[in-house]
C-alpha cells in the first residue's frame, strides 16, 4: 500500500486557497489522491482535506513538512494538522457498566477497522476487565464517589498524559467530565449520547421516548464540550420502533445504534476526516 499523508485545514474564506495548497504539494512532488473542500457560506469559512502520495514527496517527515508549511500557514491564517503514513494514535477508552460499545470498538480495532493503538481502558467499574484482558489492553479500575471524584479525575488525567493519549472515547462512560478535563482535551473527546439529540437530552432518554410514543429512536455521537450534550454532532442514526416495542426492546435497538454511531465517529476522527469549527462539524466522508 502506498504511503500517504493527510492535511486537514480551515481558515477564513478567500480567493486562491485551493491553488495555493495544490501548488505547494505539486512543488514538493506530491501527487494528490483525494481532495475535498467545503465553503461554509454562513460562516464565510473554507475547509479542506487533502490526501497525497508520499512516493515522490520531498518533505520526508511530518517535522519537515511542518517547518516548510508553517510560514505559509501562519501568513494565511490556517488552522491545520498534518499526518504522515498511518501513525497509530494512542487512544483511551472510558467505560462504565454497559460494555456493548467497548466490545464493538475492541473487535473493530482487532480486525483493522480503526487505525490506532488502544493504549488503555479506564473504568469506574470492574465489568470491562475481562474484555480488556482478552484483547491485552491495560485496564485501570478507578472507582469514583462524589467525594473522590476530583482526585480520581486527576489520576485519569495523569494516565492520559503518561500514555500520550490523543483521543479519549467515552464508550458509555456515565460520569460527567470536569471542565478542566474537557479543556485539556478539547476536540479530542468523543461521546455517544443514547438519543437523537437534541430531542431527549438528559439521563433516561429511552424512558422519555417511550412515554412520548415516538416512532423512531436515535443515537448521536459528538465531541464533548463544557456544555453537556451540546458539543458538535459527528454522526446520528435512527431505528424504527412501534407500539409493540417495550422499554426493554427500545433499549436493545438503541444499543445497536450507539455502536454504529460511535464507531463511525471514532473511525472518521482517526482518518482525519472531521473538521470542527464553532459548534458544527464538517465530515469529509
Closest to a second copy by CB, 44 or 81 = 44
Among 32, 72, 174, 183, binds a second copy (CB under 8 A): 32
Active site residue 104: no
- Cα–Cα distance, 199 to 188 (Å, whole number): 25
Interface positions, 52-111, toward a second copy (CB under 8 A): 99-100, 103, 107, 111
Among 28, 38, 66, 140, binds a second copy (CB under 8 A): 38
Q: Where are the alpha helices (DSSP H) in the chain?
A: 17-27, 62-76, 100-110, 129-134, 149-162, 179-184, 205-212, 247-270
Asked if 254 is part of the footprint of a second copy (rule: CB under 8 A), the reply reads: no
- Cα–Cα distance, 285 to 268 (Å, whole number): 8
Closest to a second copy by CB, 185 or 200 = 200
Q: Which three cell numbers stand for residue 148?
A: 473522590
Decide if 121 contacts 195 (C-beta within 8 A). Answer: no
Label residues 41-60 b or e (16+ Cβ within 10 Å = b).
eeeebbbbbbbbbbeebebe
Interaction pattern, residues 201-230, with a second copy; x per rule: CB under 8 A: ----------xxxxxx-x------------
Closest to a second copy by CB, 97 or 164 = 97
Among 75, 136, 147, 242, binds a second copy (CB under 8 A): 242
Stretch that binds a second copy, among 67-75, 83-91, 169-177, 193-201 (CB under 8 A): 193-201
Stretch that binds a second copy, among 62-70, 166-174, 181-189, 277-285 (CB under 8 A): 277-285
Decide if 56 contacts 3 (C-beta within 8 A). Answer: no
**Helix (H/G/I), strand (E/B), else coil: 177:** coil
Among 39, 88, 186, 204, binds a second copy (CB under 8 A): 39
Interface positions, 112-171, toward a second copy (CB under 8 A): 113, 130, 134
* CA geometry: angle 172, 189, 175, nearest 5 deg: 40
- Cα–Cα distance, 41 to 284 (Å, whole number): 17
- Cα–Cα distance, 141 to 134 (Å, whole number): 16
Asked if 192 is part of the footprint of a second copy (rule: CB under 8 A), the reply reads: no
Stretch that binds a second copy, among 72-80, 143-151, 185-193, 235-243 (CB under 8 A): 235-243
Closest to a second copy by CB, 39 or 88 = 39
Which residue of the set 40, 127, 229, 256 is catalytic?
Answer: 229
How many amino acids of this chain bind a second copy (CB under 8 A)? 65
- Helix (H) or strand (E) run with residue 84 in it: strand 79-84
**Helix (H/G/I), strand (E/B), else coil: 25:** helix
Q: Which of 266, 284, 232 is nearest to 9 (CA)?
A: 284
Min CB(195)–a second copy separation in Å = 10
The length of the chain is: 285
* Binding footprint of a second copy on the chain (CB under 8 A): 14-19, 22-23, 25-26, 29-41, 47, 99-100, 103, 107, 111, 113, 130, 134, 196-200, 211-216, 218, 232-238, 240, 242-244, 246, 252, 256, 260, 279-283, 285
Residues marked as catalytic: 229
Amino acid at each position: 500500500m502506498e504511503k500517504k499523508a493527510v492535511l486537514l485545514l480551515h481558515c477564513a474564506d478567500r480567493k486562491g486557497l485551493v491553488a495555493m495548497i495544490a501548488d505547494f504539494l505539486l512543488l514538493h512532488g506530491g501527487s494528490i489522491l483525494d481532495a475535498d473542500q467545503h465553503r461554509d457560506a454562513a460562516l464565510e469559512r473554507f475547509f479542506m482535506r487533502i490526501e497525497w502520495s508520499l512516493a515522490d514527496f520531498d518533505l520526508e517527515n511530518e517535522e519537515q513538512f511542518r517547518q516548510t508549511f508553517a510560514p505559509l500557514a501562519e501568513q494565511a491564517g490556517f488552522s491545520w494538522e498534518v499526518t504522515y503514513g498511518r501513525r497509530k494514535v494512542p487512544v483511551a477508552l472510558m467505560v462504565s457498566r454497559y460494555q456493548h460499545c467497548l466490545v464493538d470498538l475492541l473487535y473493530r480495532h482487532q480486525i483493522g477497522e480503526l487505525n490506532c493503538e488502544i493504549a488503555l481502558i479506564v473504568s469506574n467499574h470492574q465489568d470491562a476487565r475481562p474484555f480488556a484482558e482478552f484483547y491485552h489492553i491495560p485496564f485501570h479500575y478507578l472507582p469514583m464517589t462524589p467525594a473522590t471524584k476530583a482526585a480520581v479525575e486527576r489520576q485519569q488525567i495523569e494516565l492520559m498524559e503518561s500514555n500520550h493519549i490523543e483521543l479519549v472515547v467515552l464508550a458509555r462512560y456515565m460520569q460527567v467530565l470536569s471542565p478542566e478535563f474537557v479543556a485539556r482535551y478539547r476536540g479530542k473527546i468523543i461521546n455517544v449520547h443514547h438519543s437523537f439529540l437534541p430531542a431527549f437530552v438528559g439521563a433516561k432518554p429511552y424512558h422519555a421516548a417511550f412515554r412520548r410514543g415516538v416512532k423512531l429512536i436515535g443515537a448521536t455521537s459528538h465531541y464533548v464540550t463544557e456544555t453537556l450534550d451540546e458539543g458538535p454532532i459527528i454522526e446520528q442514526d435512527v431505528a424504527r420502533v412501534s407500539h409493540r416495542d417495550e422499554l426493554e426492546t427500545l433499549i436493545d435497538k438503541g444499543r445497536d445504534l450507539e455502536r454504529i454511531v460511535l464507531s463511525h465517529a471514532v473511525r472518521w476522527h482517526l482518518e482525519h476526516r472531521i473538521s470542527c469549527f464553532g459548534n458544527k462539524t464538517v465530515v469529509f466522508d
